[in-house]
Amino acid sequence: MGKKKTKKVILSALILCVCIALGGLLVKQTIWREKSTGQRLDIIFNNTLDHKKVFDMTVNVESGNGSFSYLRSAGQMKDDSPFAIASITKMFTAAVIFNLVDSGQLSLNETLDQLFEFDLITGLHVYKGSDRTGSITIQQLISQTSGLPDYFTEKGPDGTSFEAEILKKDTTIDFEQILSRSKRSNLILSTGMRARPFTPILTLIYWEKLRNR
Q: Does residue 107 carry a pLDDT above 80?
A: yes
pLDDT for residue 52:
72
Q: Predicted confidence band at 30 (pLDDT cuts at 50, 70, 90)? A: low
Q: Does residue 99 carry a pLDDT above 80?
A: yes
As a whole number of angstroms, the distance between CA 14 and CA 8 comes to 10
Query: For 173-201, what is each residue's pLDDT tens digit?
Result: 777 888 887 777 765 555 555 545 455 56
- Mean pLDDT for the chain overall: 75
Q: Does residue 9 carry a pLDDT above 80?
A: no
Percent of the chain with pLDDT over 70: 70
The stretch 104-123 carries a mean pLDDT of 85
